[in-house]
Amino acid sequence: MSPPNTPMVNTPMGETLLEVRHLSKNFGPVQALSDLSMKVHAGEVVALAGDNGAGKTTLIKAISGVYAPSSGEILLKGKSVSFASPQEARDQGIETIYQDLALADNLTIGANIFLGREPMRRAFGFLPVLDRAKMAEAAKSTMALLDFHVSRLDAPVSNFSGGQRQAVAIGRAVYWNAQILIMDEPTAALGVPEQRKVIQLIHQLKAQGRGVIFISHNLQDIFAVADRIVVLRRGVQAGERRISDTTHDEVVKLMVGG
Amino acid sequence: MTQTSDPHVAPQADHADTARTFLQRVADLRAWLFLAFLILGFEVWSRISFGGTFLFNPFNIQSIAVFAVAPLLLATGQTFVIISGGIDLSMGFIMGLAAVVAAHVINWATPGMGFGMAVLFGGLVAVLVAAIPGMVNGMLVAFLKVPPFIGTLGMFGVARGVAFLLAGGTTVPVKNEVFAALGNGRFYGVPYIVIVTAIFVLIMHYLLSQTKFGQHNYAIGANAQAARRAGINIKWHLLRLYILSGMCAGLAGVLYAARFTAGAAQAGEPLLLDSVAAVVIGGASLFGGSGTILGTVAGALVIAVIQYGLVFINVAPFWQFISVGVVIIISVLIDQAQRRFSGGRQSE
């Protein structure tokens, strides 16, 4: 229950953290995803792009334990894994940052980080009470790790801006030592300076050796932060490129087909 | 990379936070400000028209405290429910049911157990019986997805009917001198029922502010989705929550029966809305996610001071409805303003 709040995760940079092999998922007769393979290395940001219905969401839901794949294999650090629930995926270090953030707005940063697994201490030697000092301390160090310095650790997160709240959601994943972060449109609801802040956060995660799967409609963001891009179209992989070897135009062509 | 790489974001936000937090704190304390203002008003009125004190008269303080006991007990349970985003409309008649059950059981047990044990046994049975409608409420809300307003409204009717049936349509007098002493006796001038209530309220304050149960209650009220994703078992939480509010109503019923040495089915009828009012005046939002037990204490005292104070200064008792109503409206307006102010950035 007390994770090491380590700045570096244990997989050496560049080694394969997550591998998806020949993954397919069908809902009855509907083939949402077919024979998809991809890899995420430590310290790498992989962007997932594709039109609505291309299978991005199905893919990340399979990786994060929401759906069981119909066929194919998921390997985490070389070991085959299968998750019965998102909780199991989380326990193994795969954390999804949802678009709607999944924060309790009325609680502090610390309380959000520890939501559902609150630390306790004993007051007067016998009375179990919430260990708010520990939560605040963890909030402070975790946010500092993301190069994000907050002065008000006792304020509810509703006081913070969209980008800051995004950072809290990421901070929670980092505190519990997530190795793979799946971020679904993390910049969609933000203003421009806030978007830049989130891009900066993703660079931090990368520098710490974590793997990031980044879903976005915004090619500018993808080119600013990703190392590789995997483009999906109608459930199949339409192409995979190194960001340094491709252009906006090529990616758009892959997305729409042509 | 340092913080200065993006100088425009953080400092601005921090600056706004300071002013905002200060105003929030003032708004959070509004129930205590209301209370101070009211007491001051009655004190001035009392000195001018009777040449005597209002506040420093021990009889007045005792009366207000005794007045506040039942609504406050209901309101502590209601605070938990409202913070979770629900409401419990059945509490008033669960209180009546518990009062009738306590009266019957104590009468039945007194010959065999003696006065003291019968009171203990009867009180315990009454609180446990009160937990049953609470549990049904919890199952309706948690497992069958019935909106709390409707589910507990149904239980309001059921508890009401059962209470009147058990009471035979009348009040049930209790013949037990220990019970009478519990309801009317004092310890160094402080009524026993006030002491019991104060201890209970402290426990509830601890439960809400210092335990996982309380913390999860806030989280569920603010964002049930987030709570579920964080691994909180929402169904199990809600079930326990409504059992708790039923038991609060049960304790209120037992103390009511002790004070009047009789159980009456309609004991809590006028108190349900007072309890909701106390919670709202105390700073909770009916949208869920905010509120405190200490705020609710102030809210319940505000209502008790208005009710007692208006009688004390000889104003027609109907004014109390108007005054309490006005205080509720002002309180909700402050809450709305606060919400707009603190939530403004997200909704823009």
A109: chain B residues, CB-CB within 8 Å: none
What token pair was written down for A247? 């252009």
- Contact present, B246 and B133 (Cβ < 8 Å): yes
- Contact present, A229 and A40 (Cβ < 8 Å): no
Q: Max CA-CA distance within chain A?
A: 71
- Contact present, A46 and A68 (Cβ < 8 Å): no
Average pLDDT, rounded, for chain B: 88
ipTM of the complex: 0.80
Number of domains in chain B: 1
Nearest to B342 among A111, A159, A193 (CB): A159
- Contact present, B255 and B198 (Cβ < 8 Å): no
The burial of A186, by beta-carbon neighbours within 10 Å (0-12 exposed, 13-18 middle, 19 or more buried), is given as buried
Nearest to B222 among A106, A116, A159 (CB): A106
Q: Is B347 contained in some domain?
A: no
Task: Identify the pLDDT of residue B219.
Answer: 95
For residue A95, what are the β-bridge partners?
A181
Short-list B330, B204, B328, B222, CA closest to B276: B328
Q: Which range of residues forms the domain containing residue B282?
A: 21-50+60-342
Subunit contact B210:A106, Cβ cutoff 8 A: no
Q: Is B104 contained in some domain?
A: yes
Share of chain B above pLDDT 90, in %: 60
A104: chain B residues, CB-CB within 8 Å: 218-219, 222-223, 226-227, 289
B210: chain A residues, CB-CB within 8 Å: 123, 127-130
- How many Cβ atoms from other residues are within 10 Å of residue B188's Cβ? 5
Q: Is B55 contained in some domain?
A: no
CATH of the domain spanning A27-256: 3.40.50.300
Q: CA B78, B60, B186, B202: dihedral to nearest 10 degrees?
A: 30
Question: Which residue does chain B place closest to A88, by CA atoms?
Answer: B231
- Contact present, B58 and B44 (Cβ < 8 Å): no
What token pair was written down for A9? 């995760």
Task: Check pLDDT > 90 for residue B72.
Answer: yes
Per residue of chain A (258 residues), what is the pLDDT tens digit?
Answer: 445 444 445 677 778 889 999 999 989 888 888 899 999 999 999 999 888 888 888 899 899 888 889 999 999 988 899 888 888 888 888 988 876 667 898 899 999 999 988 999 998 889 999 999 999 999 988 888 777 777 778 888 888 887 788 888 888 888 888 899 998 888 777 777 778 888 888 888 888 889 999 898 888 888 988 999 999 988 888 888 998 888 888 988 888 886
Phi, psi dihedrals of residue A186, rounded to the nearest 5°: -65, -15
Strand-pair category, A45-49 with A71-76: unpaired
Task: Check pLDDT > 60 for residue B13.
Answer: no
Q: What span, in angstroms and rounded, lies between the C-alpha atoms of B183 and B66?
A: 10
Nearest to A103 among B226, B290, B345 (CB): B226
Phi, psi dihedrals of residue B63, rounded to the nearest 5°: -65, -45
Task: Identify the pLDDT of residue A141.
Answer: 86
Subunit contact A118:B8, Cβ cutoff 8 A: no
CATH of the domain at B166: 1.10.3470
CA distance B87 to chain A (A): 19
Nearest to B9 among A103, A127, A194 (CB): A194
CA distance A190 to chain B (A): 10
Q: CA A135, A141, A143, A148: dihedral to nearest 10 degrees?
A: 140
Task: Identify the pLDDT of residue B242.
Answer: 97
Subunit contact A102:B225, Cβ cutoff 8 A: yes
Phi, psi dihedrals of residue B45, rounded to the nearest 5°: -55, -50
Select from B212, B335, B340 the residue whose CB has the most chain A CBs within 10 Å, as the one to mutate to test that interface.
B212
Select from A115, A149, A153, A202 the residue whose CB has the most chain B CBs within 10 Å, as the one to mutate to test that interface.
A115
Q: Is B10 contained in some domain?
A: no
Phi, psi dihedrals of residue B215, rounded to the nearest 5°: -60, -45
Q: Is B268 contained in some domain?
A: yes
DSSP class of B314 = T
What residue type is B281 in one-letter code?
A: I
Q: Is B296 contained in some domain?
A: yes
Task: Check pLDDT > 80 for residue B22.
Answer: no
Strand-pair category, A120-123 with A127-130: antiparallel
Task: Identify the pLDDT of residue A101.
Answer: 66
* DSSP helix/strand/coil, A164: helix
What token pair was written down for A219? 């090619």
* DSSP helix/strand/coil, A9: coil
Q: What span, in angstroms and rounded, lies between the C-alpha atoms of B216 and A118?
A: 10
Q: Is B162 contained in some domain?
A: yes
- Contact present, B134 and B247 (Cβ < 8 Å): yes
In whole angstroms, what separates CA B6 from the centre of its chain? 47
Task: Identify the pLDDT of residue B10.
Answer: 40
A117: chain B residues, CB-CB within 8 Å: 230-231
Q: What span, in angstroms and rounded, lies between the C-alpha atoms of A13 and B141?
A: 49
Nearest to A193 among B9, B14, B17 (CB): B9
A91: chain B residues, CB-CB within 8 Å: none
For chain A, positions 143-182, list CB contacts with chain B under 8 A: 147-149, 151-152, 155, 158-164
Task: Check pLDDT > 50 for residue B50.
Answer: yes
Subunit contact A116:B342, Cβ cutoff 8 A: no
Subunit contact B290:A106, Cβ cutoff 8 A: yes
Question: Which residue does chain A place closest to B223, by CA atoms?
Answer: A104
Q: Work out whether the CA dihedral B277, B282, B283, B287 comes out positive or negative.
A: negative
Task: Identify the pLDDT of residue B312.
Answer: 85
A107: chain B residues, CB-CB within 8 Å: 215, 218-219, 222
pLDDT in tens, B248-301: 999 999 999 999 999 999 988 889 989 999 999 998 988 899 999 999 999 999
CA end-to-end span of chain A? 51
Contacts of B251 (CB under 8 A, 6+ apart): B73, B98, B127, B130, B196, B200
What token pair was written down for B26? 């003032």
Tokens 């559902």: give the residue.
Answer: A116
Average pLDDT over every residue of B63-75 = 94
Q: CA A71, A77, A79, A83: dihedral to nearest 10 degrees?
A: -50
A161: chain B residues, CB-CB within 8 Å: 9, 13, 345
Q: What span, in angstroms and rounded, lies between the C-alpha atoms of B292 and B271?
A: 20
